[in-house]
């Protein structure tokens, strides 16, 4: 049993941490890619708290893709949000189906990051978007966080901003990294 299987009820209590301002920001980064009625996949979307708000903000369908049944059981029952059990590394969607993928606080949990990036480039249409919200491990206070994640059996595979941009470029997704606050940053890329 993995970390999120047993931690899901506790995570659900803090999952809805998205202020209206942060939802506006994230929706703004996705809007150039996701038109009304478009398709967004929140990869590692967990309980769907962010996906629901983005579906409303973008007037689009948001699919929460996550391998942990105990997390997706909390995804709200709403017509604009759909929960799908699966991994980033083997996405159960057709080629070019999605307008964008979002990964929030989940990329460092993927056990095969190159496999996940290849799937993003396959599933997102050419010209579509990839937005990744991550933490830069170079901040000194990230060291205990990385250590705790690994003690809990998670990969704790955090990338710096430069590593993230270079990594996605190698997988056909060109973009930029921008600092948000503290250790948080976002990668915003376009599929070639
Ligand atoms: C810290 S939670 C983040 C949930 C949500 N994105 C958020 O920001 O609140 C990390 C999520 O990544 C999921 N996850 C772990 N490995 C994954 C994989 N290989 N593919 C997709 N999701 C994965 C976990 O099940 C968990 O729900």
Rounded (to 5) percent helix, strand, coil in the chain = 35, 30, 35
Ligand 1 proximity of 189 Cβ (cutoff 6 Å):
no
Q: 124-135 and 184-191 as β-strands: parallel, antiparallel, unpaired?
A: antiparallel
39 lines ligand 1 (CB under 6 A): no
**Fold of domain 3-191:** Rossmann fold (3.40.50)
3-state secondary structure of 47: coil
Which residue among 17, 83, 91, 109 has the greatest number of ligand 1 atoms within 8 angstroms of its CB, and so is best to mutate? 109
Q: How much is the pLDDT for 81?
A: 98
Which atom of ligand 1 lies at the shortest distance from residue 4's CA? 25
- Which residue from 120, 141, 118 is spatially nearest to 131, judged by alpha carbons? 120
User: What percent of the chain has a predicted confidence (pLDDT) above 70?
Assistant: 100
Query: Rounded mean pLDDT of 133-160?
Result: 95
Atom 17 of ligand 1, nearest CA residue: 110
Query: Which DSSP symbol is given to 46?
Result: T
- What pTM was computed for the model? 0.98
Using the predicted structure, report yes or no on whether residue 4 has a pLDDT greater than 90. yes
Residue nearest (by alpha carbon) to ligand 1 atom 23: 44
Q: Is 87 touching ligand 1 by the criterion CB < 6 Å? A: yes
Any ligand 1 atom below 6 A from CB of 48: no
Residue 1 — pLDDT band, cuts 50, 70, 90? confident
Give residue 185 CA to ligand 1 midpoint distance, Å.
17
Q: Where are the domains of the chain?
A: 3-191
Torsion angle, alpha carbons of 135, 27, 124, 88, to 10: 40
CA of 10 to the centre of ligand 1 (A): 14
The mean pLDDT of 80-93, rounded to a whole number, is 98
Question: Each residue of 96-128: pLDDT tens digit?
Answer: 999 999 999 999 999 999 999 999 999 999 999
């Amino acid at each position: 049993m993995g970390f999120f299987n047993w931690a899901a009820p506790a995570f659900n209590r803090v999952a809805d941490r998205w202020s209206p301002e942060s939802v506006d920001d994230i929706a703004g980064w996705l809007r150039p890619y996701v038109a009304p009625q478009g398709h967004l996949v929140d990869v590692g979307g967990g309980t769907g708290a962010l996906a629901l708000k983005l579906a409303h903000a973008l007037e689009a369908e948001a699919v929460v893709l996550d391998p942990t049944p105990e997390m997706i059981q909390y995804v709200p029952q709403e017509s604009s949000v759909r929960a799908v059990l699966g991994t980033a590394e083997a996405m159960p969607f057709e080629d070019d189906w999605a307008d964008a993928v979002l990964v929030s606080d989940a990329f460092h949990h993927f056990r095969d990051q190159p496999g996940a990036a290849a799937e993003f480039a396959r599933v997102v249409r050419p010209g579509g978007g990839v937005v990744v919200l991550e933490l830069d491990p170079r901040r000194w206070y990230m060291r205990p966080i990385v250590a705790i994640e690994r003690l809990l059996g998670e990969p704790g595979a955090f990338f710096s901003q430069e590593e993230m941009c270079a990594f996605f470029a190698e997988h056909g997704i060109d973009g930029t990294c921008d600092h948000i606050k503290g250790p948080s940053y976002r990668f915003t890329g376009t599929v070639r």
